[in-house]
Structure 1
């Protein structure tokens, strides 16, 4: 833990130095440099505050320990011992929090998210389940105060979703949703089933951090851009003008389409957002193959046998198979109340990282 405190001392010193710099008139006059320092100061603020609280609790605990070595009457000793226990627990909690704050940060955590949901095995029932997942994530975004925007969508005649791509914009969106990637399985009696039999269907979810233009360099000469008429449910034409856009990045073979807007220009802008995200994702996969974080492993094939989570309607149950978490409030989860699952996944990831550090 000594090396941890050395790092904390260094960060605290840096935090104080940055505080002095952003108050320096010479720095304030250089807005670009001032904003850079403000951002760095803000990023260190939480760890500096927790470390200050930790040192304060340690000093108070030392005082109590010193007091207990003196002769005290029974009542004073009992109060001191009670305070000792409370301070020891507080110190341990803060120490654990500091370890988590010092874990390497995912550079994508603060970014917006581009989500892709596709119906997998199960026909129309899988498409209806994909629509349920889309509603779940958009409602979760609403609860967080985030903004949602559809990029591209292909619906079925029964209001199911064959596939949909959408953006969730909000601070820390990727840090909260990055563990949602994978195959989601549903077990229920479909509305189209007359015999009352339970069917198992699946839908795939991919979560990509939205890339900024500075994150990914795209050569316009390497793009093929096609325009076509938008289509509605069942392939019915709903737009007689060629406003839909399909962009192909020729070197990588990545294809993105968007037909949500009536404006060809807006569709192109949206498609470029998805293309940048997919290219950033691909670049990061190439760099981190040892972590098995390829897009294929994120999404899977959509087969019933592959799943990260099961939504069982007859049992009112949602089970995340990666962490063994089961909740018996399925409808509540589908209404967007997934924070408990999200928090459990984040906590598990942090615990695994801490094990590697320890």
Structure 2
């Protein structure tokens, strides 16, 4: 009801705004200029007649004066008639505009509202509109859904774990820290949750590894000693604490333990250069017997092969790595290299199978599962 009253008032205001300039002037003169001239000319005729009767002017002069005044009266009469016709036309136009304003504006507004609006729909709160919205790709809508779920189920740790990295990605760092903290409180501590909390804290502090963030990375490393994020950020903490030698030691160890194609190798090289330490070189035969990758001899031999032969050579090395992991599946880095290798070779099914086998071998290691799932998402293999 209040809505319709508001609409009525708005319509009345719009009509008034249209009609106000068309109003007739309240202080308009009683006669036009032409009518005033006619009154003057009639007075002049009476005056000429009085002068002739009193003998002030002769008959001939009186007739000439009467003829001149008569011509002026005819001209003024024509002008008055033209003005009356013009005023009548203007009045008709004003009335037409007034009718259009009084009837057309409300009808047009009502037609647009009933066409574009929804007068019969009941009020819809925000939550209902979000629920009914068909576009589920909008991340803001998805976040709001998760937040609504968490408001109704504040002990759902999995919900906090799902939304925490999204908060961090869109820059809601305070919410990301709170979500990771709730996930750890409700689900328990593991390497993935602790590194997520630590990264959010570092971003929240503008890149500084605070004491709270350092504690989170140390907790992650205690549960997953090979976690690369925790090891990197602890090296960064050492650098920021004025201990470049300790930072170089931590980063050099991480670089040496990581596969040569690990995505963080470039960052490690830059970080080591920043503290004045050289990046460790990969040993010529590093891992060649273990299926880690080609050694110097392999590279030299590959230089003389045709593209088809080199492809066959690469597939042979990847297959040897796969066979070794089938016998001894405790090498997490080996599984990650195998997933990458099959994916590079275009064998998506084999890469997915390698990810599934790796999850089976590390079913009880949350840190390892987190690394496997992260790489699987990066490679587009699902999680």
Structure 1 and Structure 2 fold alike (TM over 0.5): no
Larger Rg: 2
Comparing both structures, which one devotes a greater share of its residues to helix?
2
Q: What is the TM-score of this pair, normalised by structure 2?
A: 0.18
Q: What is the TM-score of this pair, normalised by structure 1?
A: 0.19
Comparing both structures, which one devotes a greater share of its residues to strand?
1
